């Protein structure tokens, strides 16, 4: 017979989430401020933000790009942002013709410009297509920001700013990524005087 206990599961998930959130808010304010500053400077200078990730992080990329291009709190002028995870023709052509490891680097090469921001999202920090995308971004003069967890994986060498959520649990890392991302959207609206 299954010994699953919903009450214990509920309490353990809640406790781990709250602990990770507290650790994140206690340790990452400086990194968040740096991310906000980089993005604000880019937008003020007619740049844009390129988001990319795999799986759940791909969803985060789409979510955050949408918050910026449409609205976060109030109606306002759009903030230029693109999720490199949404064009199925580009994704399948790159995957088929060049390989999955080039999924984002090819798009950054085509769409990114000096002065833009590239935000790669990877809970492990080891996704080669994210690493390659960040490398190409740096070669084009694009500032790179990584959102990761655990020990940051291989992202440290390819990010101008690496934000590592203090957790080893994928779900908790992803929860903090979307929290930090939505806070970025809200802060950008206010910093850019768009409310």
Q: Hunting for tokens 């291009």 — which residue is that? A: 69
Q: Report if residue 180 sits inside a domain.
A: no
Cα distance between residue 120 and residue 138, in whole Å = 12
Beta carbons within 10 angstroms of residue 23's beta carbon: 15
95: which residues sit within 8 A by CB, 6+ positions away? Answer: 103
Q: How far apart are CA 183 and CA 189, in angstroms?
A: 10
Asked if the structure places residue 189 within a domain, the reply is no
Domain assignment of residue 88, yes or no = yes
pTM over 0.85: yes
Asked, for residue 137, whether it belongs to a domain, the answer is yes
User: 100 in a domain, yes or no?
Assistant: yes
Is 150 domain-assigned? yes
How many domains in the chain? 1
Write out the residue range of the structural domain in which residue 158 sits.
Answer: 8-173
Assign residue 123 the CATH number of its domain: 3.40.50.10490
Q: Where are the alpha helices (DSSP H) in the chain?
A: 6-27, 29-44, 56-69, 88-97, 105-111, 128-139, 170-191
- Per-residue pLDDT of the chain (195 residues), as tens digits, is 678 999 999 999 999 999 999 999 999 999 999 999 999 999 999 999 999 999 999 999 999 999 999 999 888 899 999 999 999 999 999 999 999 999 999 999 999 999 999 999 999 999 999 999 999 999 999 999 999 999 999 999 999 999 999 999 999 999 999 999 999 999 999 988 765
């Amino acid at each position: 017979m299954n010994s699953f206990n919903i009450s214990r599961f509920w309490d353990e998930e809640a406790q781990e989430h709250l602990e990770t959130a507290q650790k994140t808010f206690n340790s990452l304010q400086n990194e968040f401020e740096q991310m906000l500053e980089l993005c604000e400077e880019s937008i003020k200078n007619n740049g844009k933000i390129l988001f990319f990730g795999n799986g759940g992080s791909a969803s985060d990329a789409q979510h955050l790009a949408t918050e910026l291009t449409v609205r976060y709190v109030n109606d306002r002028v759009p903030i230029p942002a693109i999720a490199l995870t949404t064009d199925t023709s580009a994704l399948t052509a790159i995957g088929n013709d060049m390989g999955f490891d080039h999924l984002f680097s090819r798009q950054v090469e085509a769409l990114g410009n000096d002065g833009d921001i590239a935000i790669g999202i990877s809970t492990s920090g080891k996704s080669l297509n994210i690493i390659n995308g960040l490398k190409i971004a740096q070669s084009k003069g694009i500032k790179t920001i990584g959102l990761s967890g655990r020990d940051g994986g291989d992202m440290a060498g390819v990010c101008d700013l690496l934000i590592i959520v203090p957790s080893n649990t994928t779900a908790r890392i992803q929860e903090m990524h979307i929290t930090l991302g939505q806070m970025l959207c809200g802060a950008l609206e206010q910093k850019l005087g768009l409310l």
